[in-house]
A and B are shown apart, each in its own frame.
Chain A
Amino acid sequence: MIFAIASGKGGTGKTTVSASLATLWENDVTAVDLDVEEPNLHLFLNPEITGTEKGYVTVPEADEERCVKCGACRDICQFKAITLMAGTLLVFPEMCHGCGGCMAVCPEKALIPGRRELGEIVRGRSGNMEFLMGRLRIGEAMAPPLMRQVKERMGFIATGDVIIDAPPGVSCPAMNAVMDADAVVLVTEPTPFGFHDFKLAWEAFSPLGIPMGAVINRAGLGDSTVQNFCKEKGIPIWAEIPYDRAIAEAYSQGRVIADAVPGLRDTFLKLKEHMVAAAEENDMLGVFRA
Chain B
Amino acid sequence: MREIVIISGKGGAGKTTIAGAFAHLAENAILCDLDVDAPDLHLLLDPDKREESEFWSGHEAVIRAEDCVHCATCLNMCQFDAIEFSIEGYSVKPFRCEGCKVCVELCPAGAIDFPERKCGHWFVSDTRFGTMVHAQLFPGEENSGRLVTLLKQQARQRAEAGGLDLVLSDGTPGIGCPVIASLAGTDLAVVVTEPTPSGIHDLERVAELCEGFRTKVAVLVNKWDINPAMTEKIEAYCRDKGYTLLCRFPHNRAAVDSMLERKVLTEYDPGGLGTLLKQAWKDTLALLEK
A92 CB-CB contact with B under 8 Å? no
Bound together, the chains give a CA A148 to CA B79 distance in angstroms of 11
Interface stretch, picked from B26-34, B95-103, B125-133, is B95-103
B residues contacting the other copy or chain, number (CB 8 A):
59
Q: Across the interface, do A138 and B205 meet the contact criterion of CB distance under 8 Å?
A: yes
- Interface 9-mer from A24-32, A95-103, A120-128, A265-273: A95-103
The residue of chain A having its C-beta at the shortest distance from the C-beta of B255 within the complex is A191
Q: Provided the pairs A38-B175, A171-B137, A221-B256 are in contact, do residues A78 and B145 lie with their beta carbons within 8 angstroms? A: no
From 103 to 149 in chain A, residues with beta carbon under 8 angstroms from any chain B beta carbon are 104-105, 136, 138-144, 148
Whether, in the assembled complex, A10 has its beta carbon less than 8 Å from a beta carbon of chain B, the answer is yes
Pair A249/B145 contact, Cβ less than 8 Å: no
**Does the CB pair B16–A193 fall under 8 Å?**
yes
Q: A168-B10, A221-B256 are in contact. Are A101 and B100 (CB under 8 A)?
A: yes
Cβ–Cβ < 8 Å partners of A76 in chain B = 101-102, 105
Closest CB-CB distance, B164 to chain A, in whole Å?
27
User: Nearest Cβ in chain A — how far from B270, in angstroms?
Assistant: 15
Known: A78-B100, A141-B145, A141-B176. A11 touches B10 (CB 8 A): yes
A183 to B100, CA, bound (A): 31
- The secondary-structure label for the interface of chain B is loop
Q: Tell me if B208 is interfacial: C-beta within 8 Å of chain A.
A: yes
A-B contacts, CB under 8 A, total: 176
The chain A residue sitting closest to B139, CB to CB, is A204
Contact across chains for A43 and B177 when beta carbons are under 8 A apart: no
User: Which A residues from 131 to 187 make CB contacts under 8 A with B?
Assistant: 136, 138-144, 148, 167-173, 175-176, 179
Residues on A with C-beta less than 8 A from B59 are 78
Q: Are A223 and B260 in contact (CB under 8 A)?
A: yes
B262 close to A (CB within 8 Å): yes
A179 to B100, CA, bound (A): 21
B178-232 interface (Cβ within 8 A of A): 180, 194-199, 201-202, 205, 208-209, 212, 223, 226-227, 230
Q: Is the CB of B10 within 8 A of A10?
A: yes
Q: Is the CB of A100 within 8 A of B79?
A: yes
Contact A200 B38 (CB under 8 A): yes
A251 to B253, CA, bound (A): 18
- A1-29 vs B, CB cutoff 8 Å, 1 = contact: the mask equals 00000001111100100000000000000
Give the complex CA separation of A172 and B174 in angstroms.
14
Whether A43 lies near B37 (C-beta < 8 A) is no
Further pairs besides A141-B145, A168-B174, A221-B253: 20, Cβ < 8 Å: A10-B12, A10-B174, A11-B11, A40-B197, A76-B102, A101-B101, A136-B175, A141-B180, A171-B139, A172-B142, A173-B176, A175-B95, A191-B256, A191-B259, A192-B262, A197-B40, A205-B139, A252-B194, A252-B196, A252-B197
Please name the 3 residue pairs, one residue from A and one from B, whose CB atoms are nearest each other, closest first: A11-B12, A10-B11, A204-B139
> Can you name 27 A-B pairs with beta carbons within 8 Å?
A10-B12, A37-B174, A38-B175, A38-B202, A38-B205, A40-B202, A78-B58, A99-B100, A100-B77, A101-B100, A104-B106, A138-B205, A139-B180, A141-B176, A148-B81, A168-B38, A171-B137, A171-B142, A173-B176, A176-B95, A192-B259, A192-B262, A205-B139, A223-B260, A248-B226, A252-B196, A252-B223
Chain A interface (Cβ < 8 Å from any Cβ of B):
8-12, 15, 37-38, 40, 43-44, 76, 78-79, 97-101, 104-105, 136, 138-144, 148, 167-173, 175-176, 179, 191-193, 196-197, 200, 203-205, 221-223, 245, 248-249, 251-254
